[in-house]
Amino acid sequence: MLLLETEVIVFKSGSDCKFYVCGTSDENELILLSVLEAVYDAVYSLMKGQVEKRTMLDNLELILLTIDEAVSLWRPCLPTITYVVFSWIMDTSWSWTPTQS
């Protein structure tokens, strides 16, 4: 966790990617951390453990949908986020497979 001027920043590193969640200094850092963990865990699950730049760029649409769902939910929760993203995949018949780097 970092406190930079008026911002609170929490971060987590993947193999070659870093995830950041920022908020104002009055934000509860535990909530920011909860959002970060939910997003990272959902991305990890969707990418089948391959949280790498190439895989994430190849599946950027899913990553952005995951972030959107995490921010839209009041209490981010991995099963709910993953369910919404997988439902979208099934509804649109969008085929995806994480690529090997």
Tell me the domain boundaries of the chain: 2-92
Q: Which of 85, 71, 73 is nearest to 21 (CA)?
A: 71
Overall residue count recorded for the chain in this entry: 101
- pTM, two decimals, is 0.71
SS3 category, 58: helix
> Residue 101: is its pLDDT beyond 50?
no
Q: Tell me: the pLDDT tens digits for 52-61?
A: 889 889 989 8
Beta-strand relationship, 7-13 and 2-4? antiparallel
- pLDDT band (50, 70, 90) for residue 62: confident
Domain 2-92: assigned CATH number: 3.30.450.60
Return mean pLDDT, the chain: 80
